[in-house]
């Protein structure tokens, strides 16, 4: 029996999305049964990578078959879901999905920054958006899409924020690497001049590139003490 | 040209002017902040961010702020900071390059124009990312997971296990009785039978009806004396004889499981609560 077919049958009957870990537990339990046959037992020790590869293969096969449903992985758990174009009929069958109201534009922008740049401080988000984000952050935290993940090792040790598993579920993402254009947005712009970004008195933290490049510290300090007008440093903060 | 410039995101939630201006909604476009407004102005000019004429942009930006004032809108601090930055950039442009004041400690690369453009480029990237997230959000609403009905293959429909003989039951009840054996070995007391078999019949039926299947040992967990155990056991035997209940043993020497017989009438279940 092929591993991917076994996994398919499990996911077909599962009451909830199953993670690779849970699937491996099922395989181990099946092998532990007294009347287990040799090939059932041989799958008891299926490696995480093997199971993942089989699931991905299965998902590709379903995609290629162009069925009305596909195998999706959301927040690390696998599940059969329908294709979006069949929504009108499914809504008629099971009703509108119970989901919180859609996110506002400011909330989506803020969430995008946090998602791509996490862990990130509130000041960093504000610097990119050019506006105060207190209210939006509050909303995002209340909805459980964003959580505090630690503290930045800069003056004042401000809290840093990251996205939650619920965030992945809400947007149907497998993981953070599944975010669209992740490479481009997570990378820090290389052409960025060594700007005196810490000069802002209202800013409790330095932007990410300051955290990464310690040798810039001297330069920053020099610019800081030069008395350069704050407006020139970071115009919108 | 009539735009509503919205201040900070926080203001969207708290500011009362939104309600005041609600009736003009059709004419206005919402700006999330000064960067948003700048991006809009650049887009209107139909030029690349890197090639935008910042001097002209500064003029247009300040025109907008004036317009916001005309409409009696609160101008958020962020807009004013941006306006001053733009004015600073514009004022530098007025002088020929060789006469521009070189601020001490400021190197060639730290041009405020560049800093602003960099910020605009970065902000636009995240704005695009927000649009993509919005598309994902909408798409997720259209996706329905497969939720299979609960499989009936659970404990109820499992293939019948090896039948339990009267000896297995006697063995099991002996194990239970051993609990009392030691205590009652030395001295004998004579007391009334507090328990009747018919009471126990109702008790067992109630337990089995409520939980589907009961382990043999569980039936006797609450039993306080030898006579109560015997009573319960007799009731169990009676119910098996009447084909109300069946016993099964999952594995050899395993716990005996008692459940309702498949053909039994379900009406007998309810009875008075008994100790």
User: Could you tell me which residues are beta bridge partners of residue A71?
Assistant: A80
B52 found inside a domain? yes
3-state secondary structure of B172: helix
CATH number at residue B224: 1.10.10.580
Kind plus residue range of the DSSP H or E element containing B256? strand B256-260
For residue A180, what are the CA distances in angstroms to A168, A189, B124? 12, 17, 15
Per CATH, A3-84 and A105-230 having the same topology is answered yes
| A211-233 core/surface letters (b: 16 or more CB in 10 A; e: else) | beeeebeeebeebbeeebebbbb
Taking the CA of residue A120 and the nearest CA in chain B, the distance in Å comes to 14
Buried b (16+ CB within 10 A) or exposed e, B146-165: eeeeeeeeeeeeeeeeeebe
B74 and B134, same structural domain?
A: yes
Q: Which of B76, B126, B147 sits opposite A128 (nearest CB)?
A: B126
Task: Looking at mean pLDDT, say which of A211-220, B79-88, B182-191, B207-216 comes out highest.
Answer: B79-88
Whether the pLDDT of residue B253 is over 70: the answer is no
The predicted pLDDT at position B99 comes to 65
Domain check: are B171 and B129 in the same one?
no
Domain that holds residue B227: 166-180+194-269
Measured between alpha carbons, how far is B169 from B217 in angstroms, rounded to an integer? 11
pLDDT digits (tens, 9 = 90+) for B113-140: 778 888 888 888 898 899 999 999 999 9
Scanning the structure block, which residue is given the tokens 């109560």?
Answer: B228
Q: Are residues B58 and B121 in the same domain?
A: yes
Contact A180 B103 (CB under 8 A): no
Asked if residue B257 is part of any domain, the answer here is yes
For A128, the closest of B123, B137, B145 (CB atoms) is B123
Q: Does B136 touch chain A (CB under 8 A)?
A: yes
Task: Flag whether residue A173 sits within 8 Å of chain B, measured between CB atoms.
Answer: yes
Architecture of domain A105-230: Orthogonal Bundle (1.10)
- What does the pLDDT average to over B4-21? 45
Structure-model confidence comparison of residues B152 and B10, the more confident one:
B152
What pLDDT shows up at residue B245? 82
Beta A69-74 vs A77-82: how paired, if at all? antiparallel
Asked whether residue B232 is domain-assigned, the answer is: yes
Q: Give the ipTM of the model, two decimals please.
A: 0.71
- What contacts B65, CB < 8 A, 6 or more positions away? B5, B75, B79, B80, B83
Number of compact structural domains in chain B = 2
Low-confidence ranges of chain A (pLDDT < 70): 187-237
Write out residues 81-100 of A within 8 Å (CB-CB) of B: 81-87, 90, 94, 97, 99
Closest by Cβ to A189, choosing from B12, B118, B142: B118
B115/A234 Cβ within 8 A: yes
- Domain ranges in chain A are 3-84, 105-230
Would residue B151 count as lying in a domain? no
Cα atoms in the 13 Å half-sphere on the side-chain side of A152: 25
Token pair for residue A51?
């199971």
Residue B176 falls inside a structural domain: yes
- Residues composing chain B: 275
CATH number of this structure's domain A3-84: 1.10.10.10
* B3 part of a folded domain: no
pLDDT in tens, A44-65: 888 889 999 999 999 999 999 9
Residue B152 C-beta-side C-alpha neighbours within 13 Å: 1
Same domain, B117 and B222: no
Would you call A81 and B144 a contact, using CB atoms and an 8 Å cutoff?
yes
Q: Identify which of A84, A129, A139 has the shortest CB distance to residue B142.
A: A84
B66 and B24, same structural domain? yes
SS3 B213: strand
B103 domain residue, yes or no: no
Can you tell me the distance from the alpha carbon of B175 to that of A144, in angstroms, rounded to the nearest whole number? Answer: 53
Residue A68 sits at the chain B interface (C-beta within 8 Å): no
Same domain, B27 and B125: yes
pLDDT tens readout for residues A137-153: 999 999 999 999 988 88
């Amino acid at each position: 029996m092929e591993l991917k077919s076994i996994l398919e049958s499990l996911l077909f009957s599962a009451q909830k999305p199953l993670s690779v870990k849970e699937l491996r537990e099922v395989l181990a339990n099946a092998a532990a049964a007294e009347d287990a046959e040799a090939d059932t037992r041989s799958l008891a020790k299926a490696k995480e990578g093997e199971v993942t590869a089989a699931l991905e293969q299965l998902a590709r096969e379903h995609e290629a078959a162009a069925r009305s449903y596909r195998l999706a992985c959301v927040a690390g758990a696998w599940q059969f879901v329908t294709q979006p174009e069949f929504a009108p009929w499914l809504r008629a069958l099971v009703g509108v999905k119970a989901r919180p109201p859609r996110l506002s534009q400011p909330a989506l922008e803020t969430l995008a920054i946090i998602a791509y740049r996490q862990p990130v401080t509130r000041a960093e988000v504000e610097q990119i958006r050019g506006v105060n984000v207190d209210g939006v952050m509050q909303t995002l935290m209340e909805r459980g899409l964003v959580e505090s993940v630690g503290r930045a090792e800069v003056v004042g040790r401000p809290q840093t924020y990251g996205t939650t598993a619920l965030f992945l579920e809400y947007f149907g993402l497998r993981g953070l690497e599944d975010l669209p254009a992740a490479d481009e947005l997570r990378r820090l712009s290389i052409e960025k001049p060594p700007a005196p970004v810490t000069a802002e008195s209202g800013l409790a933290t330095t932007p990410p590139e300051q955290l990464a490049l310690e040798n810039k510290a001297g330069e920053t300090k020099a610019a800081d003490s030069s008395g350069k007008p704050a407006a020139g440093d970071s115009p919108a903060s | 040209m009539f735009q509503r410039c919205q201040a900070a995101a926080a203001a969207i939630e708290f500011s009362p002017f939104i309600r005041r201006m609600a009736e003009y909604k059709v004419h206005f476009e919402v700006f999330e902040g000064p960067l948003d407004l700048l991006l809009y102005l650049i887009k209107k000019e139909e030029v690349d961010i890197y090639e935008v004429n910042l001097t002209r942009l500064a003029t247009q930006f300040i025109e907008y702020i004036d317009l916001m004032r005309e409409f009696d809108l609160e101008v958020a601090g962020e807009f004013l900071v941006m306006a001053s930055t733009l004015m600073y950039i514009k004022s530098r442009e007025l002088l020929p390059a060789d006469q521009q004041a070189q601020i001490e400690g400021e190197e060639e690369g730290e041009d405020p124009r560049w800093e602003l453009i960099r910020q605009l480029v970065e902000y636009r990237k995240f704005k695009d990312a927000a649009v993509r997230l919005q598309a994902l959000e909408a798409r997720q609403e259209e996706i329905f997971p497969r939720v299979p009905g609960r499989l009936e293959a659970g404990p109820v429909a499992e293939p019948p296990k090896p039948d339990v003989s009267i000896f297995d039951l006697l063995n099991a009840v002996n194990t239970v009785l051993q609990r009392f054996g030691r205590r009652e070995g030395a001295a004998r007391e004579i007391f009334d039978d507090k328990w009747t078999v018919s009471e126990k019949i109702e008790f067992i039926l109630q337990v089995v009806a409520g939980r589907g299947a009961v382990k043999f040992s569980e039936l006797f967990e609450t039993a306080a004396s030898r006579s109560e155990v015997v009573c319960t056991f007799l009731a169990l035997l009676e119910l098996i004889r009447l084909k109300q209940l069946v016993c099964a043993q999952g594995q050899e020497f395993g716990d005996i499981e008692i459940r309702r017989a498949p053909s039994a009438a379900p009406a007998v279940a309810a009875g008075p609560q008994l100790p």
